[in-house]
Amino acid sequence: MITRRQIRIRVMQAIYAMYSQDEPLAASVFDQLLKDYETEIRESEKSKDDDGDSRLLHTLYYDTIKNRLEYDQLILGKAQNWKLDRIAMVDRILLQMGISEMIEFEEIPVKVSINEYLEIAKKYSTPKSSKFINGILDTLHGELIQNGRIKKTGRGLLDYPGRSEAGEGSSW
């Protein structure tokens, strides 16, 4: 069974590979690194009767790439005294993915998204990365809600401002 954290890690790896190439060829990187994985995901979805994993794979990958310049500006706005080239590439990708997930996945609670990227950072980045990522994503979370960019429904409302934290546990 494939976990959603494993999907996020694969997307991070594919984006890293794409950013490392001379030419940004998102479709070919997706085909090279994620196509076989997509087959496994579809089989896993059939057993769970849930198609959210494929959506997570595709939307997270393509949205992060498509909006990376906008997301970089959001990151720079909160990373005072930092330049993009000083932010570790893995941290930058995780931040971009975290922003994408907060905005694009209305059914995933923001706290779940942030915690997932913190756990990935602990394993794949520097010892201080999780604190840096947490600070940026947490601050952006509030700003994106105020600007109307984050809209949550269903389980995504679990940690939404003004909403009770009581309720069903999240499968995300």
Structural domains in the chain (count): 1
pLDDT score of 164: 41
Tell me, yes or no, whether 170 lies in a domain: no
Tokens of 119: 């756990």
Expressed as residue numbers, the domain containing 149 is: 4-159
pLDDT score of 171: 43
> The domain spanning residue 111 has which CATH number?
1.10.940.10
pLDDT score of 158: 63
Q: pTM of the predicted model, to two decimals?
A: 0.85
Which distant-in-sequence residues (6+ apart) come within 8 Å of 37 by Cβ? Answer: 2, 10, 57
pLDDT score of 166: 38
Tell me, yes or no, whether 24 lies in a domain: yes
Q: Of 74 and 18, which is predicted with more confidence?
A: 74
- The arithmetic mean of pLDDT across residues 74-100, rounded, is 94
pLDDT score of 170: 40
Please name the residue that has the structure tokens 């992060």. 64
Tell me, yes or no, whether 164 lies in a domain: no
